[in-house]
Amino acid sequence: GESVGLHLPTLSVQEGDNSIINCAYSNSASDYFIWYKQESGKGPQFIIDIRSNMDKRQGQRVTVLLNKTVKHLSLQIAATQPGDSAVYFCAEKVNTGFQKLVFGTGTRLLVSP
Amino acid sequence: GAGVSQTPSNKVTEKGKYVELRCDPISGHTALYWYRQSLGQGPEFLIYFQGTGAADDSGLPNDRFFAVRPEGSVSTLKIQRTERGDSAVYLCASSLGLAGDNEQFFGPGTRLTVL
């Protein structure tokens, strides 16, 4: 079936460290993945996306890596800041003719000053 | 510009009552989505509109849930005979259209509590 899950429910880091958040997906036919950040009381906010024909994509302080062999996705945040504290979700776009998103459970990132 | 807005931000109701949750998408966005997010979980797809029509309602849990978008802009999610298990945050998102890379912009959600 379709499912997207995360390995670690909570990740605690120090300010300035690099953070890595992991995600496993099960639908090998999925060809598009997105990372979202969700702060308390707010809706998910797009961070970065990647297509299955890519292994890596970089944004501002963030990098997404895709390993299709083991169906694994990761989000790397460089020089983590307190403002990065939030819950992070990976989402898989299911090819149904429209953008149906399948979200994982989420990882809470806690950044200590 | 204005993002997706949802009203009310919080709704407390009693078991068995009827509720309506409203979503105002970003102006010009033809695609609109509803999701439900239970505590500690990721959002779960409910229904998708392209224009006025519900293109896919496969995520609605049962026939107590219904959504409309009569003029292709504002959408209302309606829940009849609410149950305690309906308690969750209901999120709305909109995007420019069907194209694969059109980003979905989420609203802040409506927190529904059924007592």
* Mean pLDDT on A7-17: 86
Q: What are the φ and ψ backbone dihedral angles of A82, each rounded to 5 degrees? A: -55, -35
Listing DSSP states for B49-114 in one string gives: EETTEEEE-TT--STTEEEE-TTSS-EEEEE-S--GGG-EEEEEEEES-SSTT-PPEE---EEEEE
In contact, A35 and A75? CB cutoff 8 Å: yes
Residue B5's pLDDT is what?
Answer: 97
pLDDT at residue A4 tops 60:
no
A43-89: pLDDT as tens digits: 999 999 999 899 999 999 999 999 999 999 999 999 999 999 999 99
Higher pLDDT, B77 or A30: B77
Residues 18-37 of B with CB under 8 A from A: 31, 33, 35
The residue ranking higher by pLDDT, A8 or A79, is A79
B34-60 pLDDT, tens digit each: 999 998 889 999 999 998 988 889 999
B106 to A45: CB separation less than 8 angstroms, yes or no: yes
> Which chain B residues are within 8 Å of A91, Cβ to Cβ?
42
Q: Residue A20 contacts by C-beta under 8 Å, 6 or more apart in sequence?
A: A74, A75, A76, A77
Q: Region B77-100: what's the mean pLDDT?
A: 92
| Residue A109, pLDDT above cutoff 60 | yes
- Residue A82 confidence (pLDDT): 96
Per-residue pLDDT averaged across A107-113, rounded?
94
What local confidence, expressed as pLDDT, does residue B94 receive? 95
In which band, very low, low, confident or very high, does the pLDDT at A93 lie, cut at 50, 70 and 90?
confident
Average pLDDT over residues A97-108: 84
What is the Cα–Cα distance from B66 to B77, expressed in whole angstroms? 6
- Whether B54 and B72 have beta carbons less than 8 Å apart is answered as no
Q: Which of A99, A100, A102 to mutate to test the interface with B (most CBs of B within 10 A)?
A: A99
Name the average pLDDT for chain A. 89
Tokens describing residue A24: 């496993």
CB within 8 A of A89, min separation 6: which ones? Answer: A6, A35, A36, A38, A44, A103, A104, A105, A106, A107, B42, B43
DSSP state, A83? G
Could you tell me if A75 and A86 are in contact, meaning their C-beta atoms sit under 8 angstroms apart?
no
pLDDT at B114 over 80: yes
Choosing among B44, B46, B104, B111, which should be mutated to test the A contact, i.e. which has the most A CBs within 10 A?
Answer: B104
Using only the alpha carbons of chain A, give its radius of gyration. Answer: 13
B90 contacts in A (CB within 8 Å)? Answer: none
* pLDDT value for A96: 63
pLDDT band for position A2 (cuts 50, 70, 90) = very low
